[in-house]
């Protein structure tokens, strides 16, 4: 990023990920402004994310669960309020002419409430239990007790929650025409749709790690221990 002759608005329009940086510095990205002092932050915001090099099939389950909490749960917790706020702005400015916006806003609010409650259950009940199972398997302590019988029961519940959240996300994608802002949309509108697109991407990675790796490995571990 070198073009200091670009206005902040140009940059925000070209690359909606940068809006987060403008918000951080309190820069009005809808109406111009100079960019020098924020170049470094912009570069950080647009740099490709470090590639994931972990092999989650072999890392410990406790480590994988901690990664999910630190990366994906933390992302939901801080990104959802930002998206809800952007939704409020675009609905107040454009909601009367674009009827999909209030619908997206209410689906998004539902998705946020659902995900926060869901990840709370994982963090308080399921993930700690998986950690205890793993410690027991390593010879530490006794078989952990729980109030749900087999681990397959909470996992079925969590998987149903994932389907529910995935469906809401899909409805948002459809309502937003695959996150495509209308021609001439303002930077806030673009930032909102770009934020939704990123949110979907993170949600898919998050659910994939749980459904396809963490949960099947935990079920297998529990089954191997019950035969001891």
Write the DSSP string, 112-146.
HHHHHHHHHHIIIIIHHHHHHHHHHHTT-SSPPP-
Residue closer to Fe ion (CB basis): 18 or 119:
119
d(C-alpha 140, C-alpha 134), whole Å = 9
Sketch the per residue contact string, 122 through 151, with Fe ion: x for CB under 5 A, - otherwise.
Answer: x-----------------------------
Question: What's the Cα-to-Cα distance from 85 to each of 90, 119, 127, 170, 192, rounded to whole Å?
Answer: 9, 21, 30, 20, 9
CB of 205 to Fe ion, least distance (A): 11
Please give the residues from 64 up to 123 whose contact with Fe ion meets the rule CB under 5 A.
119, 122
CB of 130 to Fe ion, least distance (A): 12
Instruction: Decide: is 210 part of the binding site for Fe ion (CB under 5 A).
Output: yes
Let me know if 111 is exposed, middle or buried by CB neighbors in 10 A (0-12, 13-18, 19+). buried
d(C-alpha 178, C-alpha 68), whole Å = 26
Number of residues that bind Fe ion (CB under 5 A): 3
Residue closer to Fe ion (CB basis): 24 or 54:
54
- Total number of residues shown for the chain: 228
CB of 122 to Fe ion, least distance (A): 5
CB of 77 to Fe ion, least distance (A): 11
What residues make contact with Fe ion under the rule CB under 5 A? 119, 122, 210
């Amino acid at each position: 990023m070198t073009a200091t002759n670009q206005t902040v608005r140009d940059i925000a329009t070209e690359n909606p990920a940068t809006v987060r940086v403008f918000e951080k510095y309190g820069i009005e990205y809808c109406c111009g402004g100079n960019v020098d002092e924020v170049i470094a932050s912009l570069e950080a915001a647009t740099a490709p994310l470090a590639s994931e090099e972990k092999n989650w099939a072999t890392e410990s389950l406790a480590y994988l669960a901690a990664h999910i909490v630190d990366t994906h749960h933390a992302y939901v917790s801080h990104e959802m309020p930002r998206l809800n706020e952007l939704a409020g702005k675009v609905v107040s400015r454009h909601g009367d002419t674009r009827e999909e916006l209030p619908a997206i806003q209410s689906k998004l609010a539902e998705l946020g409430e659902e995900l926060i409650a869901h990840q709370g259950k994982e963090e308080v009940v399921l993930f700690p239990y998986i950690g205890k199972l793993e410690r027991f398997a390593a010879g530490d302590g006794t078989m952990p007790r729980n109030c749900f019988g087999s681990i397959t029961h909470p996992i079925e519940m969590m998987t149903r929650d994932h389907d529910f959240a995935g469906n809401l996300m899909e409805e948002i994608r459809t309502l937003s025409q695959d996150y495509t802002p209308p021609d001439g949309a303002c930077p806030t509108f673009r930032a909102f749709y770009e934020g939704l697109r990123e949110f979907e991407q993170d949600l898919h990675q998050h659910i994939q790690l749980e459904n396809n790796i963490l949960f099947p490995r935990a079920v297998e571990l529990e089954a191997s221990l019950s035969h001891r």
